[in-house]
Structure 1
């Protein structure tokens, strides 16, 4: 990273609405939080009067149990994006090329460019079959945002094995993995997994997450991590959330059933992709995306203009929320509920 690159690089666009009069379907965060989380956050005030423990052992144990890895492989970070930046900064030098899925989360390409690297864009459905040989880093978003594409464990493990042979670091962004019952790639040699508490636990402002890596890669990430990089409330609340197994199961089931109900209804008017994530990518066809977004807004609902994702020109993205809220989304899109 250098001064000129950081000065000249634009911000990647994101969803989320701060308008209190709008029901927000533009961001993919859980509208529910685990019972007791507010009390746990408030109880951490006294701990916030001293520096957090270093390393934060309880958070690492909770994260390790959450994704089934060794606690020593957990590197706490202030959100999943901080884990992504840490991995990219260690893997990418000036002139390096990086396999990046597109359409996908815009921050991958931005972080690569900040380090002087060049993104090589590959479709999400084919990136796990790509040749990693000439690249310093390969990025996979599982499930992918905004398409909802996911990858079975065998294909990801095979890609990870090819990356090891090629001496290419594999970064797997599992921001939405917790909404599925598929296993994490955490603890796989040569792989950095990035996880966030933002999406599943409905706490985007908490800024808590972690990376997982083993061997020399893990040692480098631990060495590069800033001391005290998570606050005492974030550590305590994050550890608590990751132990709420019933909440996780209930969220997965609600998202699964509501996602399929929404998709069946939306398909009566628009083309909509199947998804393994808490959102749906909707193709509005020859309608104006601006008009679809504006009409939904007039009806009290914020949806994401997905044309800001590379390669999409007629799409919006909608989150999956609670049943009654999802009915409001359907009404805003002009379709009947199912």
Structure 2
């Protein structure tokens, strides 16, 4: 199906109506004060075009954060733009690890690229050998939206083949933690310099900046050069460039680590509450959202809206269906109120 809740282009923001308690959008509640201050200082510069200096500052900050050269960094107007640029690489056969973020499929299909959906069975662990040998482009999320599954680096490495580019969407990587060692970003490959691997990242999720559109792509210089041929001038505005430099800088990295710890604690409590409430948590989550399954999920979603809650159906993801709801991680009290509302809905079903 391609319309309504089943449309590939539908995202959680369509559910987060004003006045509803938002469990649909997996963006943090708002930018921290140091980001707001940095943006406010640049308001007076908006009469000018974005400067080369601001662009270089953003690139320098990103390159430093990931141990990369400047020509391995491509600034993006949101991570989704990275997927829009992939057809410029002229792939013959793209393999998409599913279920996952829907924008790569939309971008590649609109460009006429042949696509194979590599649909993983629950609990959605990566199976590298399931990818067709002739796929010259492989795209996957890590951690994956909407399953919240984090694939180990060793599994991603097994996707590599001569003549193939592996593209990893790490939009939520900056809030991942190793549950044992508490190491940050335990499965990221952002610092791996390889000709056949690329990483797409976003700063808008963790820093509450979805309305600004800011991200970046890391790849070999040749890949970056091919992606930028014919790109429009000033692809990012002054505020997006400022945000990028701040978010990946030292203060931004400290903030992301604090958010990672907070999300991990809230997520553990959320999983415990959901499980105690008889709600199935479908996989061990590693990101800022939890995938659940329940009977009559679409009807529950509709009735929750009437009770003041927005949740995200996962019916439009390849490999999932209308049994699944994705819930953004929220604090314990807010989660408790959602589960109470779900209990009320279930009681209504039984009446």
Describe the shift of the 1:133–1:103 C-alpha distance in structure 2 as closer, same or farther (beyond 3 A).
same
Q: CA deviation at 1:202?
A: 1.1
User: For residues 337 and 64 of structure 2, what CA distance do their matches in structure 1 show?
Assistant: 37
Matched residue of 1:170: which SS? strand
Q: CA deviation at 1:320?
A: 0.5
The match for 2:76 is 77
Alignment-derived partner of residue 12 in structure 2: 15
* Deviation (angstroms), 1:21: 1.0
> Structure 1: where are the runs of 5+ without partners?
1-9
2:290 to 263, 267, 280: 280
Partner of residue 334, structure 2: 325
* TM-score, normalised by the number of residues in structure 2: 0.84
Deviation of 1:175 after TM superposition, in Å, equals 0.7
Greater Cα shift, 311-320 or 180-189: 180-189
Aligned counterpart, 2:108: 112
SS at 1:211 equivalent: strand
- Check whether the contact 1:97–1:118 (CA below 8 A) recurs between aligned residues: yes
Residues 183, 312 of structure 1: alpha-carbon distance in 2 compared, 3 angstrom cutoff: closer
Q: Count how many residue pairs are aligned between Structure 1 and Structure 2.
A: 317
Residue by residue over 1:224-256, the C-alpha shift from the partner in whole angstroms, topping out at 9 and shown as x without a partner, is 443210001111122112221221111001111
Please point out which of 211, 227, 235 is paired with 1:229.
235
Offset at residue 35 of structure 1 (A) = 2.1
1:212 positional shift = 1.0
Instruction: State which drifts further: 51-60 or 202-211.
Output: 51-60
For 1:90, the equivalent position in structure 2 comes to 89
Give the 3-state SS of the residue equivalent to 1:120 in structure 2.
Answer: strand
Name 2:138's counterpart in structure 1: 138
DSSP 3-state at the match of 1:221: helix
C-alpha spacing 1:330/1:232, structure 2 compared with 1 (3 Å): same
CA distance in 2, matches of 1:67, 1:130: 30
Greater Cα offset, 187-196 or 251-260: 187-196
8 Å contact 2:291–2:326 — kept in the other structure?
yes
For residues 172-191 of structure 1, the aligned pairs below 5 Å read 172-180=168-176, 181=184, 182=186, 184-186=188-190, 187-191=193-197
In structure 2, C-alpha distance between the alignment counterparts of 1:130 and 1:311, rounded to whole Å: 15
The Cα RMSD (Å) is 2.0
Question: 3-state DSSP class of the match of 2:46?
Answer: helix
Could you list the runs of 5+ residues in structure 2 that have no partner in the other structure?
Answer: 1-6, 177-183, 345-351
Question: Hey, what does 2:181 align to over in structure 1?
Answer: none
Mapped to 1, the partners of 2:88 and 2:156 lie a distance apart of 23
Offset of residue 87 of structure 1: 2.2
Q: 1:171 to 1:88 in 2, by over 3 A?
A: farther
Q: Structure 1 residues 289 and 98 mapped into 2: Cα distance closer, same or farther (>3 Å)?
A: same
Equivalent runs, 1:153-172 vs 2, <5 Å = 153-159=153-159, 162-163=160-161, 165=162, 167-172=163-168
- TM-superposed CA distance for 1:183, in Å, is 5.1
Residues 300/26 of structure 1: CA separation in 2 closer, same or farther (3 Å cut)? same
Cα distance in structure 2, aligned partners of 1:85 and 1:191: 17
1:57 aligns with 2:53: no
CA offsets per residue over residues 198-229 of structure 1, 9 Å max, x none?
A: 21111111011111111321222243443210
Change (3 A) 1:224 1:193: farther
- Please give the alpha-carbon distance, in whole angstroms, between the structure 2 residues aligned to 1:333 and 1:130: 38
Alignment correspondent of 1:204: 210
Distance 1:296 1:65, change over 3 A: farther
Cα pair 1:133 1:168 within 8 Å, conserved:
no
The Cα of 1:110 is off from its aligned counterpart by 1.1
Q: Aligned-pair distance for 1:46?
A: 2.7
